[in-house]
Structure 1
Amino acid sequence: MTMSLSDKQPTENESLKRSREKQKKEDAWKPDGPKDLFSMLDSLPESKQQEIQKALHLFSLGPTLPKTLQQAKKHTYRFWETQPVPRLGDSVETHGPIVEGEASVRMEPYSLPQGFSWDTLDLSNPSVLKEICTLLNENYMEEDDNTMRFEFSSVYLQWALQPPNWLAQWHCGVRVDSNKKLVGFIAALPADVRIYETDKRMVQVKFLCVHKKLRLKRMTPVLIRELTRRVNQQGVFQAVYTAALVLPTPLSSCRYWHRPLNLRKLMELSYPGLKQNLSLQRAVKFNRLPDVTKTPGLRRMTEEDAAGVHSLLQANLGKFHLSPMLSLREVEHWLLPRENVIDTYVVQGDDGTLTDMVSFYSVSYRVLNHPVHTDLRSAHLLYVTSTATDPVDLMEDTLVLAQTKRFDIFFALNVMDNQSFLENLKFSISDKSLHYYLYNWMCPTMSPDKVGLVLPN
């Protein structure tokens, strides 16, 4: 029987052609967009991103690092065991470097996983500064329940990362080769620090951050090694840093204390650590502050006060075992008021001299998935020095000022002489600790009241 044209079986080329045309029609209905993983995830709605990030945190990231000394003693620190830091459990009585400065410093950068490259980040470039803000806001120290994120601003990061004598090569970034996305960051700042009786030039290490989707690639140790190499190139071999996790080995372990300022908002946010045995009405009454300050001569710091504040700090910080040796320029940078960044107040005596000072910096959070509130503003105590005013009275006035500036909560560490006013002013102890560490320096450990250094992070 003769087969008609329509009855013929399609050839292999014709089948392939029809398959391609069918696929082309189907693709026409697909949304356009970049194919790389980061861009695809970033294109999802915010609520879907949060679900994925929470799943990554709870499932994909594996075991977390220890948060207590008991957990740390059972943990194996593969990276830190290779570094010049005291071992957990060692009793140190001597003072000095663990490893002397190397005669020759490695010149070539450390290798990154394939597809990534180093970048020295120029913070004077607004677009670069914005990239760092985005990376930190989306990935830096996120809460376990994914309810809040840091909301760092450009002006805050300029303050926190560009003190006098800052170096661009100590702002170290990692980018994806394919799209130049910033996925890793670590910074070091020059600092003169007194450790017991020794004055030492070192660096403060801040804002270690790796994109949460890359934490299984063990990029953190490479970031630390590369920053260490860059710091060593400038002849600096010691560092000070803080962490909420227990690493080898804490020089001192401090606790956060917090004081509610906007109690109603905190309760609506189910903020942890609030007194649960009080009704809202009783809690508001219990935490009520005066309407106005009461310390005579208390006012906002000005440029003309820098020398007087410098003298007050030098006299006060010298009595602690770990303290910064601030120059006049550094006092101006760190303490002169900047809106939504740093607030400093001084008390001026009748003869015009400055007798007291207090400062606190601002950290904001973005609240996720709440029907009413979208942000949380926290004030963090930086330095307080009092010679003529009772510390409790000075700090109560500070709380009044912070509440007037619409902060929701006030934080303080139990360092320096802070313990003298924390309980009196109804601060509550937090379940969060902050540990201080020294890199390539050994000395005896110290109690929190002997720590005179605060690192805004």
Structure 2
Amino acid sequence: MVEINFLCVHKKLRLKRMAPVLIKEITRRVNLEGIFQAVYTAGVVLPGIVSKCRYWHRSLNVKKLLAVKFSHLGRNMTLQRMQRLNRLPEETHIKGFRVMRESDVPKAFALLTQYLKKFDLAPIFTQEEFEYLCQNRSNIVSSFVVEQEDGEITDFISYYHLSSTIMNHQQYNTLNACYMYYHAASRTPLPDLVNDCLIHAHNNDFDVFNALDLMDNKEFLEKLKFGVGDGNLQYYIYNWRCSQMNPEKVALLLQ
């Protein structure tokens, strides 16, 4: 199955039926490789939704998010109070929590493979694919593990980086965002793992940490002060009949 990650059309060519032409061409090329199904996501509602997920956002740099109008102060809320409510510790607190090394890949891969079996829509990675997608790379992805005192790797978590350009702002030109990626917790509670990820992201100058309400993510969203967003992400599968499912049954993340 093919993953369709990006479909981009120049502003001047939008609303001119270019998207169907691009889709038809990529379908032709994929079919030549003997592949006849694809999965993709879209912010718009199209026929044949497989699942509908909601974005949640955790503020890391409150002042900047307010300045660029990504966030807004609610009634009876001040900047100082909002900063205090979203303040994070400077140090992670899980014993053995550290950046994933190349030598950790087989154990982290085994953890994730076992975890993904519980979901109805999930990828089946090879170890090479997992390493390519989740190995730490500057400005692309950050991955972590929890190592016990006996050397056992019991937990894995990752997030990917995706910054956006801020238009027409005198002070800021980039919004540094990161997104919850794949994770597998066998011993450490998931909210604790994510909290240490938030601390790491904040210490590395990210402005906002985003997550979808799929997999087991609802365990930590409200607890860790994520706010529900106003955008949905719809999942679609091309040329494959599939019943609609709740976000909790989805474990496929398309960057």
TM over 0.5: same fold? yes
Cα-Cα RMSD: 1.1
Match of 1:410 in 2: 209
- In 2, distance between residues paired with 1:232 and 1:215? 26
In structure 1, the partner of 2:60 is 261
The 8 Å contact of residues 73 and 79 in structure 2, kept in 1 or not, is answered as no
1:298 aligns with 2:85: no
Please say if residues 66 and 72 of structure 2, whose CA atoms lie closer than 8 Å, have aligned partners that are also in contact: no
Per-residue deviation, 1:275: 4.0
Question: Is the contact made by 1:240 and 1:439 (CA closer than 8 Å) also made in structure 2?
Answer: yes
Residues 99-248 of structure 1 mapped to structure 2, 5 A cutoff: 202-248=1-47
Q: Which residue of 1 aligns with 2:160?
A: 361
| Alignment equivalent of 1:377, drawn from 176, 181, 186 | 176
Of 362-371 and 427-436, deviating more is 362-371
8 Å contact from structure 1 (residues 254, 435) kept in 2: yes
- Contact 1:273–1:430 under 8 Å retained in 2: no
- Aligned equivalents of 2:189, 2:242: Cα separation in 1: 33
The answer as to whether partners of 1:254 and 1:448 remain within 8 angstroms in 2 is yes
**What SS does the aligned partner of 1:289 have?**
coil
Q: Secondary structure at the match of 1:322?
A: coil
Q: Which residue of 1 aligns with 2:249?
A: 450
Number of residues paired by the alignment?
A: 255
Is there any run of 5+ residues in structure 2 with no aligned partner, and where?
A: none
- Residue 407 of structure 1 deviates from its aligned partner by 0.1
Alignment partners' CA distance in 2, 1:274 and 1:420: 26
Specify whether residues 433 and 452 from structure 1 end up closer, same or farther in structure 2 by C-alpha distance, changes over 3 A only: same
Q: Provide the C-alpha distance between the structure 1 equivalents of 2:46 and 2:225, rounded to a whole number of angstroms.
A: 31
* Distance of 2:15 and 2:192 partners within structure 1: 49
Offset, 1:273: 5.9
Give the match for residue 391 of structure 1: 190
1:175-222 CA distance string (max 9 Å, x none): xxxxxxxxxxxxxxxxxxxxxxxxxxx100121111110123311101
Change (3 A) 1:261 1:276: farther
Q: Map Cα deviations across residues 311-342 of structure 1 (whole Å, 9 max, x no partner).
A: 00111001000000010101110011011110
Aligned equivalents of 1:324 and 1:275: distance in 2?
Answer: 39
Contact preservation (8 Å) 1:273, 1:428: no
Q: Deviations over 1:145-199 (max 9, x none)?
A: xxxxxxxxxxxxxxxxxxxxxxxxxxxxxxxxxxxxxxxxxxxxxxxxxxxxxxx
Instruction: Check if 1:280 corresponds to 2:72.
Output: no
The residue that corresponds to 1:346 in the other structure is 145
Per the TM alignment, residue 353 of structure 1 is displaced from its structure 2 partner at its CA by: 1.5
Rounded to whole Å, the distance in 2 between the matches of 1:304 and 1:440 is 39
Q: Paired residue for 2:136, among 314, 318, 337? A: 337
The alignment status of 1:321 with 2:120, answered yes or no, reads: yes
One-letter code aligned to 1:316:
Y
Task: Report the alpha carbon displacement of residue 444 of structure 1 after superposing the two structures with TM.
Answer: 1.3
In structure 1, the residue matched to 2:223 is 424
Amino acid at match of 1:396: N
Q: Secondary structure at the match of 1:345?
A: strand
| TM-score normalised to structure 1 length | 0.55
| Identity between Structure 1 and Structure 2 (%) | 47
Contact 2:156 2:183 in 1 (8 A): yes
Deviation per CA, 1:291-329: give whole Å up to 9, x if none.
110001011011111101110011100100000001010
Alignment TM-score, normalising by the size of structure 2: 0.98
Q: Which residue number corresponds to residue 119 of structure 1?
A: none
Gaps of 5+ in 1: 1-201
Residue type of the partner of 2:242? C
Q: Deviations over 1:374-419 (max 9, x none)?
A: 1110010001211111111111111000000100000000000000
How big is the shift at 1:274? Answer: 5.6
